[in-house]
A and B are shown apart, each in its own frame.
Chain A
Amino acid sequence: MTMDEDLNVLAAEYVLGTLSLEERQRAESLAQSNTDFAALVRGWERRLGELHAMVPSVEPPLEIFERIKQRLAGGGPGGQVVALETLRNRIGRWRSFGTAMAALAAVLLALLVTSVVRPDLMPAALRPNPEVIEVVRTIEKPAETPNRLVAVLQKDAASPAFIVTVDIATRTMTVRRVAAEEQAGKSYELWLVSKQFPKPRSLGLVGAHEFTAGMALAAFQPDTIADATFAVSLEPEGGSPTGEPTGPVLWSGSLIEAVPSAQARP
């Protein structure tokens, strides 16, 4: 049993569909982070996909396309999903995140759905924010300029570590720790990296709790914030002693609009 064979069998079983849900998700994560495995999956999709010719065609009900069109238009109950699909699509084009999208969209979906559908489940620090309700309306009827931006800080698609949500209007942000493990005697420090500044600017420590809410960005112009890269480095406990990152930068990401603007809709 070689590694090559194991990966081939995993790819083929993923394509066949014999894996459990959990195994499927693991295979998808692997395909997102490992181009060799992704190529194996594509190869099996191509080989086994020929079998589609053996499946009899069945004419679907007419209403299906009407629903698809509605969802594309952003109307109806699927509007939320379209907004996320649109978001995913645009991030792909703008940021060349490429295959990161599935994992990213899943994280965003969880975050947005929680904030939109069940604001009561959000931590107290986020709940009083009336913007949460505003998001729902804005997605259905997009505003010209977004005022809520999200960045997923990650090393690769399979491991988003932090989610940064920025409110441009108030220039505050909330950082949610997703997968970053607490490390004894160390602190995570968040940095803003911008062409405007010769060196990264510290935004403070993050990750001590699941949510770090209300962090100030008042020192920065909205444009600077929107174009910046956010990065988290591992520092000695209490933060960098020099004011610049001293430890490894573990995760980074750029902001994307949580609320698609009207112009960019399909």
Chain B
Amino acid sequence: MLTAAELVRLLAAVAKGDRAAFERLYAATRAKLYGVVLRILRRPDLADEVMQETYLKIWNSAGQFDPALASPITWMVAIARNRAIDLVRKRTDISIEEVPEVLELASDTADPLATRERTEDLGRLLECLGRLDPDQRRLLLLAYFNGWSREQLATRFGAPVNTIKTWLRRSILAVRECLGS
């Protein structure tokens, strides 16, 4: 992947309608975005659709990207995830049965991260997630990575939806407190 500064420059060019820059942006980010949406959608045909919509949206909204407010890749990932989650919420035929166990994150045994992708912000977030109860940490990560609803999380954790709601709330506020912003 290109550096953040290079992605910012490409987005600025895309905002002016530069198709070559768009192609380079796609080449630099497609595997990351596809990995994100495929994990949520579990179906290549749906991931394909969401990829198209995501990049059309990026083409059209590149001018609204503000490097002061977001990193280019988190901005693009947010667009892709939003589309993917909208789609899974609209469909009821995507089963959670086939979803593999979530990556065990923030575990002491192995660092699953390629070091070049490990930013300071990510380090702080993982530290804060590490302070949560293991179940609550897993809850947040399953939601983020797999795009699960509260109902799906309730099934997975064998807990009532209201309990999941409470756990989510508690974890979210704890993470906010821990990150201090």
Binding site for B on A (CB under 8 A): 5, 8-9, 12-13, 15-21, 24, 42-43, 45-61, 63-65, 67-68, 71-72, 78, 81-82, 85-86, 88-89, 92-93, 266
* A266: B residues at CB distance < 8 A: 17, 59-60
In the complex, which residues of chain B have a beta carbon less than 8 angstroms from the beta carbon of A19?
A: 89, 149-150
CA distance A67 to B53 in the complex (A): 10
Are A89 and B105 also in contact (CB < 8 A) when A18-B168, A60-B30 are? no
Given the contacts A46-B74, A49-B78, A61-B44, A88 and B85 also touching, CB distance less than 8 Å: no
Residue of chain A at shortest CB distance from B170:
A9
Question: In the complex where A18-B143, A55-B36, A82-B56 touch, is A48 in contact with B89 (Cβ < 8 A)?
Answer: no
| Contact for A68 among B55, B70, B149, CB less than 8 A | B55
CA distance A42 to B82 in the complex (A): 13
Binding site for A on B (CB under 8 A): 17, 19, 23, 26, 30-32, 34-36, 38-40, 44, 47-48, 51-53, 55-57, 59-61, 63-64, 69-71, 73-75, 77-78, 81, 85-86, 89-90, 103, 105, 112-114, 117-119, 121-122, 125, 140-141, 143-145, 147-150, 153, 168-169, 172-173, 175-176, 179, 181
A61 touches B48 (CB 8 A): yes
Assess whether A68 is in contact with B56, with CB atoms less than 8 Å apart.
Answer: yes
Report the Cα distance A89→B59, complex, angstroms: 10
Q: With a CB–CB cut-off of 8 A, which chain A residues contact B38?
A: 58
Query: How many angstroms from the CA of A71 to the CA of B58 in the assembled complex?
Result: 13
Smallest CB separation, B166 vs chain A (Å):
10
List the B side residues contacting A13 at CB < 8 Å.
168, 172
Instruction: Point out the residues of chain B lying under 8 angstroms from A64, CB to CB.
Output: 30, 34, 48, 51-52
User: Complex: how many Å from CA A140 to CA B81?
Assistant: 30
Further contacts, 16 of them, CB under 8 A, given A60-B30, A266-B59: A9-B172, A19-B89, A42-B69, A43-B181, A46-B121, A49-B74, A50-B119, A50-B122, A51-B122, A53-B118, A57-B31, A60-B31, A68-B56, A78-B56, A89-B61, A266-B60
A43 CA / B74 CA spacing, docked (Å): 11
Q: Are A81 and B35 in contact (CB under 8 A)?
A: no
- Report the number of A-B residue pairs with Cβ-Cβ less than 8 Å: 164
B150 & A47 in contact (Cβ 8 Å cutoff):
no
Question: What are 28 A-B contacts with C-beta separation under 8 Å?
Answer: A13-B172, A16-B143, A17-B40, A18-B150, A21-B89, A46-B71, A48-B125, A49-B70, A49-B71, A49-B73, A50-B74, A50-B122, A52-B32, A53-B114, A54-B103, A55-B36, A55-B39, A57-B31, A57-B35, A58-B34, A59-B31, A65-B26, A65-B30, A65-B55, A68-B52, A85-B60, A93-B63, A266-B60
Residues of B within 8 A of A60 (CB): 30-31, 34, 47-48, 51
Q: Is the CB of A54 within 8 A of B145?
A: yes
On chain A, the residues within 8 Å of B147 by CB distance are 17
Bound-state Cα–Cα, A98 to B112, Å: 40
Contact across chains for A57 and B168 when beta carbons are under 8 A apart: no
B173 touches A68 (CB 8 A): no
Please, which residue of chain A has its CB at the minimum distance from the CB of B55?
A68
Taking the closest CB of chain A, its distance from the CB of B79, in whole angstroms, is 9
A236 vs B39: C-alpha distance in the bound complex, in angstroms? Answer: 57
Identify the 5 closest CB pairs spanning chains A and B, nearest first: A49-B74, A57-B31, A60-B34, A21-B89, A53-B117
